[in-house]
Chains A and B, each alone.
Chain A
C-alpha cells in the first residue's frame, strides 16, 4: 500500500529521487523481519522500503526523506536509496550492488568483539552474488562464524539484464554460500508463511549455534526497475511471466488464505487496511508539510566533529 501510494503520487514530481518499488516482493521483507528483534541489525539495498518498514522503520521519516525534507530519516541528504532508523537498528541502505554486504558482516564482527549477542541481517538482490565483496564476505563470515543472516531476493533481473546472461543456469546462488560451509536454504519468496518459517529456522540457528545463514527466495518485481510504472512494453521480459507472477501476489494470496482459514474475517481485514491507509495518509501529509532543509545543510555535515 505504501509503494502503491508512492507510485500514485510520483507524477506530482515532488518525490525527486529514484524510487525502487518492492511491489510483488513484499513477502520476503515481511516474513524475515517478523523473525528479527528490534536489537538485531538490518542493512539493505536500493529496493529497501519494504525492509525498512518491516523492521519497524519510521514511515513518516521515510516519506519525508523521499520528499527531500529536513524531517527525513537522513535529513534529505539520502533519499529513497539511503534509509536509516537507528531507533530500530536499521543502520543504512545503499544502492551500490553488494555495497552493504561486508558492512553488515562488520556490524556482526563488531558486536562479537564487544561480546554482544546480536544478529545482523542483510538484504541483497541476486546480482549482488556476482560481486567480489559477496565472496569475500561469505569467506570471512564462515571463517569467524559471524552471526549474519544473508537474505537474497532473486527477482531474476538486474535492471533489465536477466539472470540468464549473468549467472550459470543450473546453479542457485545459495549453493555459493553452501560452498563456503554456510547453511543455506532456497525457497519461494512469494509465500510469506514459508519465508517466515525458513527465516525462523535460520534465526534460531544463528542464535543457538552462532555463524552465518543464507536464505535465497525467488520472487518477482512487478514494476520497472526504478520508477512508478509497469514496463512490460519494453520487451525485456515476457508478459506471460508477469501474468504468472501477478497471480502469485504474496499479499492477495495470503489475505485469501487467512480469510479461508478463518484467521481473519473481512471486517477485521478492512479495518486493518483502513488503519494502514490512514497511517500512510498521515505520513504523506507530514512529508508534504515538513520544511526543506536549510541551505546551510548542503555544505555542512561532511565530517563528524571530533
Chain B
C-alpha cells in the first residue's frame, strides 16, 4: 500500500505539471462541449445539457486516461526507467494501477472544466436530480475506464508506436463510448462492438442519472454493466501484465520493440 500511495502522490504532481496533460484536460472538453452545443442547440435535442456537459467532461476524462496510460509507458521507456521498474520487487501492474488511479483523479478536472465552461460561456444549466446515482455512476465510470486503460497500457508495453496509437484510439473510443450521442443511433453491429466497452455503459448510466424521471431498470442495468465490464478488464489487465512481463523478460525485448 505504501508503494501504491507514494506512486499515486508522485504521479499526481508529475502529471499535473506536464503541459500536455493540462492541454488534454482543457482542450478536449472545450472542443466536444462547444461542437455538441453548436450542433445540438437548434436541433431540439432532448437533454442538451447532459450531452454538452457530459460529452465534454467524459471525453476529457477518457482522453486524459488514454493519453496518460500510453504516455506513462513511453515516458518510462524514454527515461530508461522501464527496465529497473520491471526488475524491482514491486509488481509492474501495481505501479501502473497507481499511476492510472492518479490519472483518473486528475481527469475529474475535465468534467469540472466542462461544467464551468458550459455554464459560464455556453449558458447551459446542469441539474443533478439523482445525486447519489450520479456520483455512484461517475465512480463506476472512472473505475471501469481506468481498468480499460490499464488493459491498453499492457499492449503498449509491446509497442514503440504508443504516441501514434494513443492519438488514433481517442476518437474511435469516443464514438463507440457514446459520450456525445447515444450509441443506439449506430448500426447494430457497431452497437454490439460498443457493448464490450465500459465507457459506453458508464456514459449511459450517467445520462440516465441526470434524467428527472425516476430511476428505472435501464439505469441499474447500465450501472451493472459498467461495473461488470470494469471487473473483467481488471482481470484481463492482470493476466496480460503477467504474460507480457514473462515474454519481455524471457526474450529481453522490453527496450527492443
A binds B: no
